[in-house]
């Protein structure tokens, strides 16, 4: 049933969005330093990539998934470099005392960076393969409307989480002192950089280095 697929997608979207990884930290940091809209648009970039991966996996579009998996070394290298760059930049940036003025170009960049980082990671596709297998969700090959409903549910569930998170940060941001914001900058920057380094270490393992 269409409504069941939509609701199932919402549950899956919430399930994949709630765990806080490096991109989650990036979204939180942007919300605290540049305002809730930047955090929300960053989260929407992740949600869009998750929805795309959900639809591709459900349809069994092996052409796209095989391309991402076959080129995962290059994609992970680029993603690792970019995460290290973002982490170091965040770590070295002092928190603003006032939220900067929102501009369309900045929001577009916030959306694009998280979308590209998420969609270029083959693990995103593989995670949906594991979720579908674990929940007994059958292939929707050729059923484009059903796949679109499932993907739309994933997007909606993920956006609901990011929206709730940004509202919470907006309500409590004034309670953070300048010193506390500085620590959040340094901790999140270090964590994002560490995630990039972990990607490089995993590449070394794939190349047989360090064994």
User: Can you tell me the distance from the alpha carbon of 70 to that of 185, in angstroms, rounded to the nearest whole number?
Assistant: 35
User: Can you tell me the distance from the alpha carbon of 194 to that of 23, in angstroms, rounded to the nearest whole number?
Assistant: 12
Residue 208: pLDDT band (50, 70, 90) is: very low
Decide if 186 contacts 179 (C-beta within 8 A): no
Encode 156-192: b = buried (16+ Cβ within 10 Å), e = exposed. Answer: bbbbebbbebbeebbeeeeeeeeeebeebbeebbebb
Predicted pLDDT of residue 192: 67
Q: Which one is predicted more confidently, 126 or 8?
A: 8
Predicted pLDDT of residue 210: 37
User: How do residues 110-127 score in pLDDT, each as one tens digit?
Assistant: 999 989 888 877 777 777
User: Can you tell me the distance from the alpha carbon of 20 to that of 43, in angstroms, rounded to the nearest whole number?
Assistant: 12
Decide if 195 contacts 86 (C-beta within 8 A): no
User: How do residues 169-204 score in pLDDT, each as one tens digit?
Assistant: 777 666 655 565 566 667 766 776 777 777 667 666
Residue 44: pLDDT band (50, 70, 90) is: very high
User: How do residues 82-106 score in pLDDT, each as one tens digit?
Assistant: 667 777 776 666 655 555 555 567 8
Q: Which positions ≥6 away from 142 have C-beta within 8 Å? A: 59
Q: Which one is predicted more confidently, 75 or 99?
A: 75
For all residues of the chain together, what is the average pLDDT?
Answer: 75
């Amino acid at each position: 049933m269409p409504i069941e697929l939509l609701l199932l997608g919402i549950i899956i979207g919430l399930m994949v969005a709630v765990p806080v990884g490096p991109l989650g930290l990036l979204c939180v940091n942007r919300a605290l330093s540049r305002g809730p809209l930047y955090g929300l648009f960053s989260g929407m970039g992740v949600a869009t990539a998750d929805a795309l991966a959900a639809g591709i996996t459900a349809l069994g579009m092996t052409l796209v998934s095989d391309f991402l998996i076959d080129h995962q070394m290059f994609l992970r290298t680029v993603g690792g470099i970019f995460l290290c760059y973002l982490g170091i930049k965040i770590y070295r940036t002092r928190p603003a005392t006032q939220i900067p003025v929102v501009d369309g170009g900045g929001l577009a960049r916030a959306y694009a960076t998280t979308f590209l980082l998420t969609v270029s990671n083959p693990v995103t596709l593989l995670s949906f393969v594991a979720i579908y297998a674990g929940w007994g969700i059958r292939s929707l090959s050729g059923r484009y409307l059903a796949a679109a409903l499932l993907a739309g549910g994933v997007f909606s569930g993920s956006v609901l989480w990011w929206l709730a998170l940004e509202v919470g940060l907006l309500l409590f941001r004034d309670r953070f002192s300048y010193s506390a914001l500085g620590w959040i900058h340094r901790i999140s920057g270090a964590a994002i950089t560490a995630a990039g380094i972990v990607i490089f270490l995993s590449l070394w393992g794939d190349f047989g280095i360090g064994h």
